[in-house]
Structure 1
Amino acid sequence: MKGRQIILDHIQGREAAALLVDGRLEDLLIDSDQPRVGAIYRAVAERPMKGQGGLFVSTPDGKAFLRQVKGIAPGDRLLVQVTGYAEPGKAIPVTTRVLFKSRFAIITPGAPGLNISRQIKDDDLRDELTGIARAVFEGEETGLILRSSCVDADPEEIAEDVAAMADLAAAVMADTEGEIEKLTEGDGPHDQAWREWTDPADIITEPGGFEDHGVLERIDALQSPLATLGGGASMYVEPTRALVAVDVNTGRDTSPAAALKANIAAARDLPRQLRLRGLGGQITLDVAPMPKKDRRAFELAVKSAFRADSIDTVLAGWTPLGHYELQRKRDRLPLSEVLA
């Protein structure tokens, strides 16, 4: 089916959202039992951990690890926000740089100033958005970022969204006294889909939407490490305890350009595969053997693919053995764990 579809449903009793583009599964969000990314706690600081560059804080959901320790003493009450998912046996990663993100705006306490997404190029529109923001938002110590989704939005809707997020931010940031407590839950998959998937799409909310539109079949296919790339090429995406291994194969194509074509196809599809499978951390690509002169074309394909991806990824580059490495934020739980 042509076009974009956002399907809001449940799987195994968990809230879930799927994004289909021209019939292909582009993104998948499934709730879990772990604290959601974006949740905010009133926490209590413990002693700094020597040699680890941070300290543990106590939260209602257990220990969390905070890397910023300057000016924090044991016993201090502070507000922290979940930034990702913890690896097994490790503490929840948190930050004191709390953000309040909605469909059109990001409120940034402690970082004053009005900023508009660089993707909005039209000067008249930027001036209009500046006027909207100044009419409803005043913050000497709080900043505002207007997101690219404002381009085609109704001005009244933008103003209401900014005002609501500013009120929420003010209320939460003032709530620093008391025992440890979860102050916000973080967005679930349905709210996150509304917030992040802002391009026009058909929205399907009827129960059973995943089954009716083939999402369950696509999720089943993700249980296999194999991802086909077209032209007989493929890659295997296999998480281990230490890293995610990606093996690229040319298949039956024996032409001189087969390796480069397979590697570029893998680079273009890798962000989607990692999103759908919920994989992050260290990622090592065992690319199909190709001459060093072809590496530049592959690197450009990788950079282009991850530039358009929403999850922070550092492109570390080549190893002496000819592997290509990346470091990706653990923004999601592995699909295999969520559906276990």
Structure 2
Amino acid sequence: MKGTLVALDHINGRAAAALMVEGRLQDFLVTPEGDAPTPGAIYRAIADRPLKGQGGMMLRLPDGATAFLRQGKGLRPGQALLVQVTGYAEGGKAVPVTHKVLFKSRYAIVTPDAPGLNISRTIRDEDERDRLLEIAHIGMDGSDYGMILRSSCDGVDADDIEEDIADMRGAATEVMAGAEGNTPELLLNGPDAHHLGWRDWDAPDLVANADGSFEDHGVLDALVELETTHVTLSGGASIYVEPTRALVAVDVNTGGDTSPAAGLKANLACARELPRQLRLRGLGGQITLDLAPMAKKDRKLFESTLRSAFRADTIDTSLVGWTPLGHYELQRKRERLPVLGCLPK
């Protein structure tokens, strides 16, 4: 269909959400199996042992799970603290967490540890900012917590925003009250795929939430493309996106183009498509690009195109730079579950 469609369905018994724009799959979310800690979940954790030389601390979570807190200075073994899961753990590794918990919804983010009321910088109309700031003051009156109103608030009815603020303020109050204790405990579940789609995707032209919506709207056909590492780009170029245990390797090929600018065109096409491919496949960590041959003078153009492409992506990605062999490296937050093992069977 034309326009924007959000489809909510299930794959292999798990909640999943797909964002289609002009009939093309732009984002895909799937809920992990079992009770593994998921990003956004908040725990009362118990400090276990410091990691000397790293400045971090290993923490105990419920059911024998372990977490790693990078900022462990000043903590002592046995101390209880609130932490929030920030990403998925690789097999056999501790869950990454932060002690700066926040409560995020469609319109509001409540920040117990960061006082002050703020409006998203992307909202630039002064009248709208004044309106939202007034709503924020009303919603957070009497609270010491901070809050950020997201860009999705722009033009939204005040009652909807106030309801969202009340929900997040209530959740924050309840969870922070559970900080005391001497045993690990799950205090707030992380959002599932349906909730994440509702929270982070702009209002679509259509929401399809009936069983079978993936099949009805072409999502299953689009997911088939994720089963292969090969991705066709414009101009006959292509890339191979291949996750390994150590890193994600991306190989760029020019195809049948034999013109002098073939390498540059293929690399630019890769730069524009790469954020979408990593997002859909749920890939993060170290990413190495084996680019097609191009002149060194074209590197700035490639970097500019890559930076522009990732600027529109919602997952934190650092553009690290060039290696002596001419590869380009990135570091991407492991915010998504790898999709390959979650596709329909």
8 Å contact from structure 1 (residues 107, 142) kept in 2 = yes
Query: Residue 271 in 1 paired to residue 282 in 2?
Result: no
**Which ranges of structure 2 fall in alignment gaps of 5 or more residues?**
none
Partner of 1:155: 158
* Structure 1 range deviating more: 65-74 or 6-15: 65-74
CA distance in 2, matches of 1:140, 1:165: 12
Partner of 1:253: 257
1:92-147, Cα deviation, whole Å (9 max, x unpaired): 11111001000001111111111111100100000000000101103664210010
CA distance in 2, matches of 1:266, 1:52: 36
Give 1:68 shift. 1.5
Give 1:200 shift. 3.1
CA distance in 1, matches of 2:7, 2:302: 34
CA distance in 1, matches of 2:250, 2:272: 13
Query: Residue 55 in 1 paired to residue 50 in 2?
Result: no
Distance 1:199 1:263, change over 3 A: farther
Give 1:220 shift. 1.6
8 Å contact from structure 1 (residues 268, 302) kept in 2 = yes
Partner of 2:37: 35
CA distance in 2, matches of 1:208, 1:59: 37
Over aligned residues, Cα RMSD in angstroms? 1.2
Question: Residues 182-201 of structure 1: matches in 2 within 5 Å?
Answer: 182-201=186-205
CA distance in 2, matches of 1:221, 1:277: 10
Question: Residues 1-340 of structure 1: matches in 2 within 5 Å?
Answer: 1-33=1-33, 34-61=36-63, 62-138=65-141, 141-178=144-181, 179-339=183-343
Q: Secondary structure at the match of 2:138?
A: helix
* Structure 1 range deviating more: 97-106 or 41-50: 41-50
Give 1:9 shift. 0.2
Give 1:70 shift. 2.3
TM-score, normalized by length of structure 2? Answer: 0.96
8 Å contact from structure 2 (residues 56, 73) kept in 1 = no
8 Å contact from structure 1 (residues 112, 139) kept in 2 = no
Identical residues among aligned pairs (%): 63
CA distance in 2, matches of 1:136, 1:142: 11
Query: What is the identity, as a one-letter code, of the residue corresponding to 2:132?
Result: L
8 Å contact from structure 2 (residues 15, 30) kept in 1 = yes
Give 1:177 shift. 2.3
8 Å contact from structure 1 (residues 234, 251) kept in 2 = yes
**Which ranges of structure 1 fall in alignment gaps of 5 or more residues?**
none
Count of aligned positions: 340
8 Å contact from structure 1 (residues 56, 65) kept in 2 = yes
Give 1:174 shift. 1.4
8 Å contact from structure 2 (residues 15, 192) kept in 1 = yes
Query: What is the identity, as a one-letter code, of the residue corresponding to 2:6?
Result: I
Q: Secondary structure at the match of 2:233?
A: strand
* Structure 1 range deviating more: 25-34 or 13-22: 25-34
Q: Secondary structure at the match of 1:231?
A: helix
8 Å contact from structure 1 (residues 103, 198) kept in 2 = no
1:255-289, Cα deviation, whole Å (9 max, x unpaired): 12221111111101100100111100000001110
CA distance in 1, matches of 2:255, 2:54: 45
Query: What is the identity, as a one-letter code, of the residue corresponding to 2:265?
Result: K
CA distance in 2, matches of 1:320, 1:8: 45
